[in-house]
Amino acid sequence: MILHDESWQSRHLFDVRIDALSTQDVLRAVDEAIATRKRLLIGVVNAAKLVKMKTDPSLRRSVLGSDLILADGMSIVWACKLLRRPLPERVAGIDLMTRMLERANEKGYRVFCLGATQEVLDEVSRQIREDYPNAILAGARNGYYREDEEASIAEQIASASTDILLVAMTSPKKEMFLARWTPIMKVPVLHGVGGSFDVMAGKVKRAPEAWQRWGMEWLYRVLQEPGRMWRRYLTTNSLFVWMLGREAAKTASKARPLSNPDNSAKTRWGMP
């Protein structure tokens, strides 16, 4: 486990620690983890995941067990700013994955890709070999397997002397896999990238940059898959706003001064 640098700071949102780091800070931690072979388990959170963590204890334990927890969504950045707990920037999981591949290309790191369908995985593997020729693709395995195959997959990743493991599976499956098998795999850098392989392979189109800046990636996703996504985002976004309202009210009440501080002690003890 990578120990926090003294300059690192954390914020808390809904009792979840979020590390106030820039992408460059994280990349420096990646280099340190690989150089020292110490674990750097990276977790990312967005509005939907924070909502789900309220009712899924296993997911909550898995996320909180990460060495770094980063703000994957603009909603997290805005919420922290509203609560006067500012973060330096959004560190989107897919952008961090790309920067890690660039780092692997510069330094010859060994990368293992786990997740997605075999078709998507083949295209991602092809792109890594083509776009990052100095990165070593240590192995690749699709994300469709039986539970009793997990141990052999973890052993395969360990035997590949992997430096960076990218896990492209949905929550909470990826968090549970990483929590369960990280000690066996002995990989320095572990990053759950969700649906990033689908985007990289061109199966899913990512929202334009303007939509990303305005935190509207969820709406772009709904427009691409309305039948499957509208109910999920309606529910999670509404709950996130409700949770943020409660947190803001709690913060305001703690910061509110006593109306008559000189008389507060007298009132408490029944004095005139």
pLDDT number for residue 170: 85
| pLDDT confidence tier of residue 10, bands split at 50, 70 and 90 | confident
Residue 263 lies in a domain: no
Q: Is the peptide bond before 57 cis (omega within 30 degrees of 0)?
A: no
Specify the pairing of strand 10-13 against strand 16-19: antiparallel
Percent share of the chain, pLDDT over 70: 80
pLDDT computed for residue 259 by the predictor? 52
Asked whether the predicted pLDDT for residue 264 surpasses 50, the reply is no
Mean per-residue pLDDT, 241-266 = 69
Amino acid at 226: P
Q: Which residue has the higher pLDDT, 163 or 243?
A: 163
Task: Count how many domains the chain has.
Answer: 1
Nearest to 114 by CA among 41, 193, 206, 205: 193
Question: What distance, in Å, lies between the first and last C-alpha atoms of the chain?
Answer: 58
At 232 the pLDDT is: 62
pLDDT at 268: 33
Instruction: Tell me which of 26 and 255 has the higher pLDDT.
Output: 26
- For residue 62, tell me if it sits in a domain: yes
Q: Where are the alpha helices (DSSP H) in the chain?
A: 23-36, 47-53, 57-64, 74-82, 93-107, 118-131, 150-159, 173-185, 196-200, 209-213, 217-224, 226-255, 261-268
Q: What is the pLDDT of residues 34-56, one digit of tens each?
A: 999 999 999 999 998 999 999 99
Centroid of chain to Cα 53: 13
How big is the chain, counted in residues? 272
Cα–Cα distance measured from residue 92 to residue 193, given in angstroms and rounded to the nearest whole number: 9
Most confident range (mean pLDDT) of 12-16, 169-173, 252-256 is: 12-16
CA distances to 38, 138, 214 from 168, rounded to whole Å, are 22, 16, 25
Comparing 36-45, 154-163, 200-209, 253-262, which segment has the lowest mean pLDDT? 253-262
Spatial distance between the Cα atoms of 93 and 75, rounded to a whole number of angstroms: 14
Ranges 12-21, 62-71, 185-194, 233-242: which has the least confidence: 233-242
Report whether pLDDT(122) > 50. Answer: yes
Q: Compute the distance between CA of residue 109 and CA of residue 230 in angstroms, rounded to an integer.
A: 39
**202 is a domain residue:** yes
**Residue found under tokens 């750097």:** 40
The pLDDT, as a whole number, for residue 228 is: 57
Rounded Cα distance, 66 and 77, in Å: 19
Whether 270 is in a domain gets the answer no
pTM of the model as a whole: 0.82
Copy the structure tokens of residue 6: 């003294």
Asked whether residue 257 is domain-assigned, the answer is no
- Domain of residue 175 covers 10-248
Contact between residue 135 and residue 111 where contact means Cβ atoms under 8 Å apart: yes
Structural domain includes residue 258: no
Quick one: average pLDDT of 214-220?
Answer: 60
pLDDT at 215: 64
Mean pLDDT of the chain: 85
Instruction: Between 247 and 99, name the one with better pLDDT.
Output: 99
pLDDT over 90 (residue 185): yes
